[in-house]
Amino acid sequence: MAPENSSLDRRNFLRAAGTLAVGIPLGVTLASCASGGTGGGATGTKTKNNPFGVADSTTVDAVIFNGGYGVDYVSFAGSIFAKQHSGSKVKVSPSTQIASELQPRFVGGNPPDLIDNSGAQAIGFNSIRKQLEDLTEVINADNLEGTKIADTLYAGVTEPGTYDGKFVALNYVLTVYGVWYSASLFEKNGWTPPTTWDEALELGAQAKSAGKYLFVWGKEAATYYQTLAVDSAIKEGGQELRLALDNLKSGCWSQEPLQKVFTAMKKAIDSGYVKPGGAGTQFTAAQAQWSLDQQALLYPSGSWIENEMKKQTADGFQMTGIPELSLSDNGKYPKTAIRSAAGEPFCVPSSAKSSAGGKELLRIMLSKEAATNFAKTKLAPTIVKDTVPADGFGSTALVSQAKMLSDAGKDTFTFNFVDTYGMNQDQLVLWNTFLSGGSSVAQLTDGLQQITDKIANDDSIKKVTYK
Amino acid sequence: MSVAGPVGSAPAALGRAGAPSRGRGRGVRRWTVDRISLFVVFLGLPLALFLVFVIWPFLQAAFYSLTDWTGLEANYNLIGVGNFVKEFQDQNFTIALRNNLIFALVIPIVTIVIALAFASLITIGGPSRGPMRGIAGSSFYRVVSFFPYVIPAIVIGLIWAQIFDPSSGLLNQALIGLGLPYQAFAWLGEPAVTRWCLMFVVVWGFVGFYMVLFIAGIKGVPAETYEAARIDGCGRFRMATRVTLPLIVENVQTAYIYLGITALDLFVYTQALTPNGGPENTTLVIPQLILRYAFLQGQAGYASAMGVTMAVVTLGYAGLVFLLFRLIRRALGSER
């Protein structure tokens, strides 16, 4: 720029730019006012084969979490969808960053028709539940084989997706929580899988004398032990204990069964039954110390563990699950009771272009053909009953899951507060310290209670009442 | 600068196209197609991009920090400074702010001291006879120490996370090899050491780059200055502190500010090494909290407030460093 005239011109430009700077934001504000949805989109005629009235030539936009289960099972249902509705197709977009990818679409009023809101970057349901369709309509519809879908599902699977009576998230995959071990290793050493904490501590002593540990943990998954503790306590104290935690009651962490479980865990830690160093170990590396190196006997986890460690499991490991440990013989729930919760929450935004298409795709996924395909290719059961044959497609873990589910019968439960309010990150800190032996039961209890109280006392966070 | 060419030559072109009354001094200039297109391309466009993609988001964040926006709905309420009050009642935030400030205090000074020492060795640390030169093999060291800077930060983080692994990490294996009891020492899991491990990794990654920066600075100092100092009987350490430092103090100041801004962020390193904030939150940093609140807990307004606070802290930090260096320069007598 020639120096002699630069100042004048620069000023002119700043002036012009200033006008622009005022203009653009106004334009954007107006645009955002104009958006914000009417939604629903074009609908066709509702018939028995088309219960939600999907219009012909609809393109269903599905954003699916691309995690342990991949996205091909949705594409599979999508191809059935295309056959059912002439000229229609399903566009499946895989994503691992659900929250940051979909945030602008929610604000702009053009969210996709179906979302699998899962993974570490999932959107907290508490923040979007008002913008989602009630999916009761879907499970009241008939599946492709002509049976009412609700009758084909396991008990209680709608519970985790129900917020204040509105069923907004259909959790598709059935997750069974348990304690996992190698049946072959136990057989070789003559060990019996424990059913109570006392038995577990005895087994810990045997493991120690064999130069192994009872438990192992990794830094990102320290709260798996919180899940184990809460589930054990619920088996002892029943629904009353669970509701106190879910409804953020003051003093809920001091309930007696929880304290007893914490004390048993503390004993295991102090006796050296827990492999030290977990607070600095990446969690899959820690899990490989159990499944590949076999340095630890037991690992508490959900049934995704088999898929997750597929490539890092010792040959002939025979991964098997047992119900989470009980405290005594006379708990409110029998020893066979399990926490089974449906995972992979699918939801349909109300302002989507074709929310009917989203629901229809879900209906197809819940039909026998698609559900069986899932169980077979992912070695995990869906919420649809009777899709796993007796041989579990050759997986010992899948067979043990089916056994745990049938042994438990109606004695299944789950809890919600951790996911509903996104507490995991804060709790991880406490659990890493506790499992390292760095805090007492009282300190752990205090810390957990503070996290609960902080949310209970924050008026800006909408609360869910659990019953 | 390369862009100076076409811009500089523009007035000549304008002269040819323009009216004969083309200004002596500051006369009114005519808007020709040439001039307009020049301004649009070289000023208007970059400025517009800057305004839309930098300034406007800043203003938006500042506005959202005054709202209870969840980040997922189009509606929000203005709640004044509520978010800022909440910040300082939020233990996570105060811990993260404290951590960021510790990093901003330690990382720049350690990095700069090491980088300066290396730079001195490589340029003036050599034999005290003959021309000024570095220690033997200095060009080799210069290249090698630059290597870490070539690796992306996230990769550095992931590599070191493996090295620090308690059971199979290189570090513990080496220590066990020396006969030390480090079978399960969790370098990234012990509250007392994790913060230092993280800082070590950051310093390791940056020393090479700043060393090269300082070498360039030292090479810009006339060799006569060093020779004169040497004739006066100045040793190598004194040469570094009394001759080099005052002469490249401006480079040091720039380095200090850059490193400070990096240390007030550190998102990439912490996500790779201690994604949950480290043991007892000793390495939790504010960008991690912003991610957590904005996207996972639906409190985008609150997260914006944290971003605004960080911007203020960063500006304050830069201002402090400027002030500090002005005082240092005055003390060194190199105030110009």
Give pLDDT, residue B334. 54
- Give the residue-averaged pLDDT of A385-401: 88
Distance CA B321, CA A253 (A): 47
**Would you say residue A251 has pLDDT above 90?**
yes
Nearest-CB residue to A127 (from B26, B52, B72): B72
- Give the residue-averaged pLDDT of A183-206: 96
Residue A277: list chain B partners with CB under 8 A: 166-167, 184-186, 189
Pick the residue of B37, B53, B276 with the most A CBs within 10 A to test the interface with A by mutation: B276
pLDDT band at A138 (very low <50, low <70, confident <90, very high): very high
Give pLDDT, residue A299. 97
Cβ atoms of A340 and A213 within 8 Å: the answer is no
Domain A176-340+413-456 has CATH 3.40.190.10: yes
Minimum CA–CA partner of A100 in chain B = B295
Q: Per the CB < 8 Å rule, is A122 touching B296?
A: yes
- Give the residue-averaged pLDDT of A5-29: 41
Closest CA to A225 of A446, A447, A430: A430
Give pLDDT, residue A41. 53
Residue B86: list chain A partners with CB under 8 A: 460
A29 touches chain B (CB under 8 A): no
Least confident residue range of A217-231, A258-272, A404-418: A404-418
**Would you say residue B271 has pLDDT above 60?**
yes
Residue B191: list chain A partners with CB under 8 A: 433, 438
Residue B10: list chain A partners with CB under 8 A: 1-2
**Would you say residue A458 has pLDDT above 70?**
yes
Q: Say which residue, A465 or A439, is predicted with more confidence.
A: A439
**Would you say residue A343 has pLDDT above 50?**
yes
- pLDDT tens digits along A231-245: 999 999 999 999 999
Domain coordinates in residue numbering, chain B: 4-53, 85-332
Percent of chain A with pLDDT over 90: 61
| Residue A278 CA neighbour count, 13 Å, CB half | 38
Residue A126: list chain B partners with CB under 8 A: 298
**Would you say residue B5 has pLDDT above 60?**
no
Q: Looking at residue A132, what DSSP letter applies?
A: B
**Would you say residue A52 has pLDDT above 70?**
yes
Q: Say which residue, A462 or A168, is predicted with more confidence.
A: A168
Chain A nearest CA to B72, separation (Å): 5
- pLDDT tens digits along A313-342: 999 999 999 999 999 999 999 999 999 888
Residue B26: list chain A partners with CB under 8 A: 4-5, 8
Both tokens of B153, joined, read: 């930060």
Residue B189: list chain A partners with CB under 8 A: 219, 277-281, 432, 436
Q: Which residues pair with A384 in a beta bridge?
A: A153
CA angle at B332 for the pair B330 and B336, rounded to the nearest 5°: 55
Q: Which of residues 272-331 of A touch B (CB under 8 A)?
A: 275-282, 285, 289
- pLDDT tens digits along B309-334: 999 999 999 999 999 999 988 887 65
Please give the mean pLDDT across all residues of chain A: 87
Q: Which of residues 39-58 of B touch A (CB under 8 A)?
A: 39, 43-44, 47-48, 51-52, 55-56
Nearest-CB residue to B51 (from A20, A121, A276): A20
Pick the residue of A130, A460, A461 with the most B CBs within 10 A to test the interface with B by mutation: A460
A380 touches chain B (CB under 8 A): no
**Would you say residue A149 has pLDDT above 90?**
yes
Pick the residue of B35, B56, B72, B283 with the most A CBs within 10 A to test the interface with A by mutation: B72
Domain coordinates in residue numbering, chain A: 59-172+342-387, 176-340+413-456
**Would you say residue A38 has pLDDT above 50?**
no
Helices A6-34 + B56-64 axis angle, to 10: 50
A59-172+342-387: CATH number:
3.40.190.10
Strands A319-322 and A166-167: unpaired
Cβ atoms of B173 and B185 within 8 Å: the answer is no
Model ipTM value: 0.75
Count the neighbouring beta carbons within 10 Å of the beta carbon of residue B84.
15
Give pLDDT, residue A8. 39
Q: Which residues pair with B138 in a beta bridge?
A: none
Q: Per the CB < 8 Å rule, is B184 touching A219?
A: no
Residue A275: list chain B partners with CB under 8 A: 184
Q: Per the CB < 8 Å rule, is A429 touching B281?
A: yes
- pLDDT tens digits along B64-117: 999 988 888 888 889 989 999 999 988 899 999 999 999 999 999 999 999 999
- CA dist B210 → A29, A330, B307 (Å): 44, 67, 28
Nearest-CB residue to B280 (from A17, A422, A433): A433
Under CATH, which architecture does the B85-332 domain have? Answer: Orthogonal Bundle (1.10)
**Would you say residue A73 has pLDDT above 90?**
yes
Give pLDDT, residue B3. 39
**Gyration radius of chain B over CA positions:** 26
Minimum CA–CA partner of A22 in chain B = B56
**Would you say residue A30 has pLDDT above 50?**
no
B315 touches chain A (CB under 8 A): no
Closest CA to A243 of A416, A47, A122: A416
Range with the largest mean pLDDT of A108-117, B26-35, B220-229? A108-117
User: Between chain A and chain B, how many beta carbons pairs sit less than 8 Å apart?
Assistant: 149
Q: Looking at residue B130, what DSSP letter applies?
A: S
Chain A nearest CA to B7, separation (Å): 5
Cβ atoms of A29 and B74 within 8 Å: the answer is no
Written as one string, the DSSP assignment of B160-218 is HHHHT-TTT-HHHHHHHHTT---TT--TTT-TTTHHHHHHHHHHHHHHHHHHHHHHHHH
pLDDT band at B255 (very low <50, low <70, confident <90, very high): very high
Pick the residue of A22, A121, A127, A350 with the most B CBs within 10 A to test the interface with B by mutation: A127
Output A134-137 pairs: Cβ under 8 A, ≥24 positions apart: A134/A166, A134/A167, A134/A168, A135/A161, A135/A167, A135/A168, A135/A169, A135/A170, A135/A347, A135/A348, A135/A359, A135/A362, A136/A167, A137/A51, A137/A52, A137/A359
Percent of chain B with pLDDT over 70: 90
pLDDT band at A4 (very low <50, low <70, confident <90, very high): very low
Both tokens of A2, joined, read: 């020639």
Give pLDDT, residue B333. 66
- pLDDT tens digits along A421-437: 888 888 999 999 999 99
Q: Do domains A59-172+342-387 and A176-340+413-456 have the same CATH topology?
A: yes
Residue B25: list chain A partners with CB under 8 A: 4
- pLDDT tens digits along A374-383: 988 888 889 9
Q: Say which residue, A452 or A421, is predicted with more confidence.
A: A452
- pLDDT tens digits along B121-161: 888 887 777 777 788 888 888 888 888 888 999 999 999 99
Minimum CA–CA partner of A119 in chain B = B296
Q: Per the CB < 8 Å rule, is B276 touching A24?
A: no
A111 touches chain B (CB under 8 A): no
Cβ atoms of A119 and A68 within 8 Å: the answer is no
Cβ atoms of B280 and A447 within 8 Å: the answer is no
3-state class (DSSP) for residue A157: coil
Q: Per the CB < 8 Å rule, is A103 touching B71?
A: yes
Chain A nearest CA to B265, separation (Å): 20
Count the neighbouring beta carbons within 10 Å of the beta carbon of residue B274.
29
HEC-encoded secondary structure of B205-236: HHHHHHHHHHHHHHHCCCHHHHHHHHHCCCCH
